[in-house]
Structure 1
Amino acid sequence: MSGADAISLELPGAAFTTELIRDLNGLRALEKDWWALWHASGSATPFQSPAWLIPWWESFHPGALFTLAVRQGGRLVALSPGYLEDGVYGRRILPVGISLSDYHDVLLDPAAGDPALSALSALSDLAAAHSDEWDSWDLEELPEHAAAFRVPIPLGCRDEITPASACPVLEVVEGEDVFAQARKSKKRHLRLARNRAAKRGAVSFETATDETCLDLLGHLFRLHARRWGERGEEGVLAPDVVQQFQRAAVPRLQKAGLLRLDSLRIGGKIVAVQYCLRRGDWAATYINGFDPDYEFESPGMVLMEHVLADLAAGGVRTFSFLRGREAHKYDWGATDRMNRKRTISHAGAA
């Protein structure tokens, strides 16, 4: 393992070794094994992939890196990418990717032991070995079946599980129209929007390739800024550091087959861009942007309809609209799935 501050500990009586990665070089050195673990963990989303989290750390690095890794026979079998924050809430282990990631979890190879809980025990033991450095281990935005819920509580600690964000999800039944659950008013609005768009000019769609993904990302930045600028706001994509992160992450996600970036043209002009993430039969609508000059044609909705239908035709059965209870998510037929937060803290902490 590269990285000057990486350490390795043998666990007595177990076929596991543990490593604490404290610098960027050590994090980068994990990437090949990280990908193997990510693929082995069938429930992991693109938010847990190195294509997302390494660029996030390269761009933001808001604290001291504190990434817990477990190996079995040299193979990476558990990973908790985190960092230390020392602030008003005390000394916390927080997940790498926080704020911009809608799902977090520890990565676990289900083949690591029988049961795989032993790898999670090794992860917990490593955190406990450095308990003098943290007051709480905050496992944020965990989906329902997160492996992080099964991490044993370190000796001398306690845990608390609390509600986090709602992530509306649309489940598509195989053989059923992807829009079968959409509200009637939504379907009427879609028909109207398609007709208005066609009257404005020729309508065409384009999905980004390795060669065009950064160019299309630039259009997303532009359209998102215009849309929010009309409201006198900047929008989440405005900060330079966010754009830096996305420019680094998007080509990696695209190369890994985890990105779905689409545009809508009306009369030859790009008027909407939709940014989605995908893994297998799961996809998420991450963010979009549209030209406010075309608001009458509802280009964001027209593009979303196209993307959802195309992804469903390609085998996607679960669409997450990610965090937030905006009304338009439920118009498509989505229902809430609640993320939760697990906080592990020292038993004597207030």
Structure 2
Amino acid sequence: MRINRERVRLQGDAVVTVRVLRDRSALSFLEDRWPMLYRQDAMATPYQSPEWLAGWTEQMSPTATPLVMVADDSDGPVAALALVRDQSEGREQVRPLSSPHAEYIRAVGPGSEEHSVGAALAQCLRVLAREGDCVVMPDVPTDSCLGRHVAAQSGYDHTTARCAVIGLPVDFSAMSRATRKEHKRRERTWVGLAAGGHRVVYRRTRSTAELIGTYPVLSELYHRRWAGHVPLSEVGAAGADKQWQAVLERCGSGTAFIATLAVDEAVVAAQLCLYRHRRCYSVRPAMDPAYRELAPGHALLRRLTAELSGQGFISFDLGRTVEDAGQIAYKSQYLAEWKATLTAISRIPQEAPRVRSLSVPSVTGPLMPGGRARLGSRQVRRRRALRKLPRDAARFPTPCFVRFAHGIRQRAVLQACQHAYAAS
């Protein structure tokens, strides 16, 4: 590791030290210390849960190295940020662990929202970027302390994405008249299906075994929905489904569930969700395009939000939103609150211009008696010759900047430098 500690001293007596752990040290910290920091941080999302990170750690490529930035104050660790380093396009890339699958990247710990901690972590990321790593920080909430500090730093290309959060319970009475009519029209369609003898069933997984068993159904709908589109880089990737199943097995029913809506035993919509406390997060929504006219995604979302409201949940996060008029209108129909996340990618550091080096030949003859012109290797002779030049002459080795020094030996070396520069 090129850096071990980065100290940031701010106003007052606040001193935060950042340790960068890697390999086994990072894995040990994630297993032993991370769960406590996660429990102490009320703002952390399920994307920072120990189970979620452990699942994606097991899916890392053999060339990847886990990293953990640990922010310490005088009492010990107050926050940590889980990262991974891997090769990307011939350059080492540092990105958050579980990215791009996680839709929110945050530091975890009781001090994660303190100004000094956010500044220290952002400064440590900047040091990695200056030393040659391509630092990619996607999906950092702009209202988080880390997000504000990364957004304020130069040397990054910044972009933002919108995220929609539905407050629960959904207040349909606060919607516009046209929106209420649209919701009622869709619901009448599903009531008519049930009245016509079709069996409409809404389910939500309750156990880990049920969660793992339902995932293949969701995956089939997901790939069918996005056939011919590329909303995510993982679509169609070999082994992606096995990775997700392994991660969900790690998460278990205490962190994840899948909600489904079926018509006559045929699942027409499904949604993978993560949850923590009273907040729920949509991870992978899917629907059968053959039933598009029935708007199965709306029907499932309405039933899911109603159930979550009855269980005391206060929000349902729909995650990133593609800048598409249809997607924005779809989520706006539920009185969603719009938030933003930041993606920062470090720029390639520019190399400093090189100063033209001079090739200084050996100076022999009557001006340097005693054979003392033989100074050893060519590099040593060049270094010794340039050391005798005035500072301006070393930067601009032209005759107008050369001030001849006292002594025959120095005059001979200066003349040799001028001769070498003119010959080049």
Whether contact under 8 Å (1:158, 1:345) holds in the other structure is: no
Q: CA deviation at 1:298?
A: 3.1
Report which stretch shifted further, 220-229 or 300-309: 220-229
In the other structure, the counterpart of 1:244 is 242
Equivalent residue for 2:280, pick from 274, 278, 283? 283
- In structure 2, do the counterparts of structure 1 residues 178 and 109 end up closer, same or farther at CA, with 3 Å as the change threshold? farther
Q: Deviations over 1:192-237 (max 9, x none)?
A: 33224413622222211222100111111122233334x5879755
Equivalent residue for 1:266, pick from 257, 263, 266? 263
- In structure 2, do the counterparts of structure 1 residues 14 and 33 end up closer, same or farther at CA, with 3 Å as the change threshold? same
In the other structure, the counterpart of 1:20 is 20
- How many Å separate the matches in 2 of 1:205 and 1:329? 21
- How many Å separate the matches in 2 of 1:65 and 1:303? 38
In the other structure, the counterpart of 1:334 is 336
Q: Deviations over 1:69-109 (max 9, x none)?
A: 23568864211112335556965432222222221122232
Q: CA deviation at 1:52?
A: 2.2
- In structure 2, do the counterparts of structure 1 residues 131 and 206 end up closer, same or farther at CA, with 3 Å as the change threshold? closer
Q: CA deviation at 1:277?
A: 2.0
Report which stretch shifted further, 240-249 or 80-89: 80-89
1:165 aligns with 2:161: yes
- How many Å separate the matches in 1 of 2:139 and 2:93? 15
Over the matched positions of the two proteins, sequence identity in percent amounts to 20
- In structure 2, do the counterparts of structure 1 residues 243 and 14 end up closer, same or farther at CA, with 3 Å as the change threshold? same
- In structure 2, do the counterparts of structure 1 residues 78 and 217 end up closer, same or farther at CA, with 3 Å as the change threshold? same
Equivalent residue for 2:298, pick from 290, 297, 301? 301
Q: CA deviation at 1:28?
A: 5.4
- In structure 2, do the counterparts of structure 1 residues 330 and 117 end up closer, same or farther at CA, with 3 Å as the change threshold? closer
Whether contact under 8 Å (1:47, 1:104) holds in the other structure is: yes
Whether contact under 8 Å (1:224, 1:289) holds in the other structure is: yes
Q: Secondary structure at 2:59's aligned position in 1?
A: helix
Report which stretch shifted further, 176-185 or 333-342: 176-185
Structure with the larger RCO, 1 or 2 (CA within 8 Å, 6+ apart): 1
Alignment gaps of 5+ in structure 1: none
Aligned residues, how many?
Answer: 337
Equivalent residue for 1:254, pick from 252, 255, 268? 252
Amino acid at match of 1:188: K
- How many Å separate the matches in 2 of 1:200 and 1:233? 37
Equivalent residue for 1:207, pick from 190, 199, 204? 204
- How many Å separate the matches in 1 of 2:96 and 2:166? 27
- Taking the TM superposition and a 5 Å limit, the aligned residue runs for 1:1-350 are 19-23=19-23, 26-27=26-27, 29-61=29-61, 63-71=64-72, 76-85=77-86, 87=88, 91-110=92-111, 116-120=114-118, 123=121, 133-135=131-133, 137-149=135-147, 158=154, 162-172=158-168, 177=171, 180-181=174-175, 183-184=179-180, 186-198=182-194, 199=196, 201-208=198-205, 209-229=207-227, 236-255=234-253, 257-325=254-322, 326=327, 327-342=329-344
Whether contact under 8 Å (1:197, 1:299) holds in the other structure is: no
Whether contact under 8 Å (2:128, 2:135) holds in the other structure is: no
Alignment RMSD: 4.0
Q: Secondary structure at 1:323's aligned position in 2?
A: strand
Amino acid at match of 2:70: A
Q: Deviations over 1:150-192 (max 9, x none)?
A: 6699xxx8465834111122234x6x63674372354134223
Amino acid at match of 1:264: L
Q: Secondary structure at 2:39's aligned position in 1?
A: helix
Amino acid at match of 1:21: L
- How many Å separate the matches in 1 of 2:193 and 2:252? 29
Q: CA deviation at 1:264?
A: 1.8
Whether contact under 8 Å (1:94, 1:139) holds in the other structure is: yes
In the other structure, the counterpart of 2:395 is none
- In structure 2, do the counterparts of structure 1 residues 36 and 328 end up closer, same or farther at CA, with 3 Å as the change threshold? same
Q: Report the TM-score, using the length of structure 2 for normalisation.
A: 0.65
Alignment gaps of 5+ in structure 2: 353-424
Max radius of gyration: which structure?
2
- How many Å separate the matches in 1 of 2:174 and 2:307? 15
Q: Secondary structure at 2:306's aligned position in 1?
A: helix
Whether contact under 8 Å (1:186, 1:331) holds in the other structure is: no
Report which stretch shifted further, 18-27 or 209-218: 18-27
In the other structure, the counterpart of 2:414 is none
- How many Å separate the matches in 2 of 1:187 and 1:100? 31
- How many Å separate the matches in 2 of 1:342 and 1:195? 47
- How many Å separate the matches in 2 of 1:184 and 1:16? 52
Report which stretch shifted further, 159-168 or 198-207: 159-168
Q: Secondary structure at 1:188's aligned position in 2?
A: helix
Q: Deviations over 1:127-150 (max 9, x none)?
A: 577677445544322213213146
